[in-house]
Amino acid sequence: MTERAERRLAAVAFVSAFLLRVVYAFRYRVDTDEPQHLHVAWGWAHGLVQYRDVFDNHMPLFHL
């Protein structure tokens, strides 16, 4: 595959993903659990320990 074809494919993939994300944002509502799950994942990514540094109202190993 040539470099030009790769760039075109990457651009099409990016635009498609962006358009799907826009449709998803307007079609489905944000559930109240989603920000909470994102906060826990953010804490893990920053080295925080669950139930000690970041509160989570789910049982241990729920996210696995």
**Confidence bin at 5 (pLDDT 50/70/90):** very high
**Confidence bin at 63 (pLDDT 50/70/90):** low
- Give the model confidence (pLDDT) of 41-55 as tens digits: 899 899 998 888 988
Q: Mean pLDDT throughout 26-54?
A: 85
Q: Mean pLDDT throughout 1-14?
A: 94
Using the predicted structure, report yes or no on whether residue 10 has a pLDDT greater than 80.
yes
The one-character DSSP state at 30 is P
Mapping DSSP to helix (H, G, I), strand (E, B) and coil, where does residue 16 land? helix
**Total Cβ atoms within 10 A of residue 36:** 14
* pTM beyond 0.75: no
Report the C-alpha gap between 41 and 23 in whole angstroms: 25
Report the C-alpha gap between 24 and 17 in whole angstroms: 10
